[in-house]
Chain A
Amino acid sequence: MIAELQRVTKRYGSVTALNGVTLRLAPGQVTALLGPNGAGKTTTVKLLLGLIRPTSGTVALFGADPRSLPARRRTGVMLQIAKVPETLTVREHVHLFCSYYPAPLTVEQALIAADLRDVADRRYGTLSGGQKQRVQFALAICGNPELLFLDEPTVGMDVESRRAFWQQVRALAARGRSIVLTTHYLEEADALADRIVVINAGTIVADGSPAQIKARAASRRIRCVTTLSPETVQHMPHVHGVRRDGASLEILASDAEHVARELLMRDDGLSGLEISGAGLEDAFLALTSGKSAGAATTQAESAAAAGGVR
């Protein structure tokens, strides 16, 4: 394991940011921590980086204390909260960060990898938003780390920059780098990750491949009292799982309305019909609703209108 949380709880005063989370990250994978704002994604990353201490439980990075320099020399970080000093040039920033690592990229390699060669000698303060984000990316990769943390790396990027950024992340993953990224876009997690860990209200609510997560995200739970056997229901289209619960059946289905219609047609005596979210839905409401997608597009468009796109 390259990074590990063991039954970790983190409280800030009376606020529980993370509640008994266990998470193991295998090498060579791109893992997306997906969840709405305030779910505990950034807290997870900060714990793994040793920036904050767990209230209870243990955290390990490369089998060591995450605050140890040997562990940190193997990681690179892009944190959404950081504002980079504005009076140094891009090249100077990268040069300094390279000196922290034992076997870094050359400054030139890092500038090329982050597509910054054209603006290398400009001061950070004069760059556009997208360029600034690429500088932070360059600072994360310039040490040639085995493990890369990207905290909300594409927030505020327009669609084009986001796609370009995804290419850079994929290129690193193809070279065997392990990557942990946080995002509140299911689309982004789906595009980049081998594994998606959904976090909501401080707990892990789902963990699986993008295909598994997407299927679960779209599912809802149907409860009813019926004479139909679980085996019959299991074979209906759009049904992912059936469980007997006393007199009722509990059915997990991706198209709940279709399945409910089918059930009612086949069983005249069906009663107690209920359809509810499948647990994941709460977590995804903020992620997959048209609202957040629309907001992202609007943001991209206004950035483009303001000349923020190169």
Chain B
Amino acid sequence: MTTSTVGTAWTPARAYALEAKYELFKLLRMPAYAVPAVAFPVMFYSLFGLMFGGRAPGGVSMPTYLLATYGAFGVIGAALFGFGVGLAVERGQGWLVLKRATPMPPLALFTAKLFNAVVFACVIVLSLSVLGVMFGNVSLSAGAWVQLAGTLIAGAIPFCAIGLALGYFAGPNSAPALVNLIYLPMAFLSGLWIPIEMLPPAIKNAAPFLPAYHFAQLALGAVGAGLGAPAWTHVTALAGFTIVGVALALSGYRRDEDRLFG
């Protein structure tokens, strides 16, 4: 059998690149993911962020405040669904077992899914920003724009880790429901839909136990509307959630290794 002659030594870089490319193709060809991932934050921001004017807590305009929180909402959704549901389905179908038996670079699939969460995060942040500027009179300094966009996009990482853990513990059929049951209440209780200052004190006090709260506070900090805790406390909290997510996923991976079927 003749083989394709490769002039240079084989490196895993191509496998990483192709894995990311075809993961993206898979998501784009799956309307059940791609459409809601972008359309929901755009729709919610248009309905709640742009139709109500006025001032938000912290002194910024409501469209500016909600650009940060609905941006966070969209990024979290793209990460949780892309990782959690995508992984749970492919795991349930035995596809991940086959992938593990191949010489695929072990991290290629995860970096590919992370890459895609970031791509979707960029699309969501860009869409909401354009809407905010055109219809909500959002006006930020260049530095604030960079900080907001950077924070929102980097915020995909901890939620990918949480999605990873969900992907290893949810069944392929229950995964979408489970992710929604975590995602939507968490978004509300963290002040992503309605500013946290307007929520009852009980919710406000419990919010720091939720990763989405810390993410939103970092994004709000970029537009000058955070509650005022130092940024490093939020970053530390998110790093903690990331570590817990990865650790849970690892134990799920080990458990899969010893299942009767799978």
Q: Of B4, B14, B15, B95, which contacts A82 at CB under 8 A?
A: B95
Interface residues of A in 59-97 (CB under 8 A from B): 69, 72-73, 75, 77, 79, 81-85, 87-88, 92, 95-97
Whole-angstrom CA separation of A106 from B6 in the bound complex: 11
Q: List 5 A-B contacts (CB under 8 A).
A: A51-B257, A72-B103, A102-B10, A103-B6, A143-B102
In the complex, chain B residues whose CB is within 8 Å of the CB of A97: 102
| Closest chain A residue to B94, Cβ basis | A81
1/0 per residue B64-90: CB within 8 Å of A?
Answer: 000000000000000000000000001
- Evaluate contact between B95 and A83: CB separation under 8 angstroms: yes
- Evaluate contact between A88 and B22: CB separation under 8 angstroms: yes
- Evaluate contact between A12 and B260: CB separation under 8 angstroms: yes
- Evaluate contact between B103 and A96: CB separation under 8 angstroms: no
In the complex, chain B residues whose CB is within 8 Å of the CB of A87: 25-26, 29-30
Query: Closest approach, in angstroms, between the C-beta of A105 and any C-beta of chain B?
Result: 6
**Interface extent on B, as a size class?**
20 to 34
Interface residues of B in 28-84 (CB under 8 A from A): 29-30
Whole-angstrom CA separation of A53 from B22 in the bound complex: 31
Does B205 interact with chain A (Cβ within 8 Å)? Answer: no
In the complex, chain A residues whose CB is within 8 Å of the CB of B15: 96, 99-100
Query: Closest approach, in angstroms, between the C-beta of A115 and any C-beta of chain B?
Result: 16
Query: Closest approach, in angstroms, between the C-beta of B113 and any C-beta of chain A?
Result: 13
Whole-angstrom CA separation of A286 from B155 in the bound complex: 56
Is the contact region of chain A dominated by helix, strand, or loop, or is it mixed? loop
- Evaluate contact between B103 and A99: CB separation under 8 angstroms: no
- Evaluate contact between A175 and B1: CB separation under 8 angstroms: yes
Does A101 interact with chain B (Cβ within 8 Å)? Answer: yes
In the complex, chain B residues whose CB is within 8 Å of the CB of A149: 101
In the complex, chain A residues whose CB is within 8 Å of the CB of B1: 105, 109, 144, 175
1/0 per residue B5-33: CB within 8 Å of A?
Answer: 01001100011001100100110011000
Whole-angstrom CA separation of A13 from B260 in the bound complex: 9
In the complex, chain B residues whose CB is within 8 Å of the CB of A99: 14-15, 18-19
- Evaluate contact between A103 and B26: CB separation under 8 angstroms: no
In the complex, chain A residues whose CB is within 8 Å of the CB of B259: 12
Whole-angstrom CA separation of A123 from B104 in the bound complex: 22
1/0 per residue A163-191: CB within 8 Å of B?
Answer: 00000000000010000000000000000
Whole-angstrom CA separation of A87 from B19 in the bound complex: 14
Q: Closest 3 CB pairs between A and B?
A: A83-B93, A102-B10, A81-B94
Does B141 interact with chain A (Cβ within 8 Å)? Answer: no
| Closest chain B residue to A85, Cβ basis | B26
Q: Of A77, A106, A123, which contacts B101 at CB under 8 A?
A: A77
Whole-angstrom CA separation of A144 from B6 in the bound complex: 14
- Evaluate contact between A106 and B4: CB separation under 8 angstroms: yes
A-B contact sample (10 more), CB < 8 A, given A75-B101, A95-B22, A144-B3: A50-B101, A51-B97, A69-B105, A83-B94, A88-B29, A99-B19, A100-B105, A103-B6, A104-B3, A123-B29
- Evaluate contact between A79 and B103: CB separation under 8 angstroms: no
In the complex, chain B residues whose CB is within 8 Å of the CB of A79: 94, 97-98, 101
Q: Of A13, A96, A105, A139, which contacts B4 at CB under 8 A?
A: A105
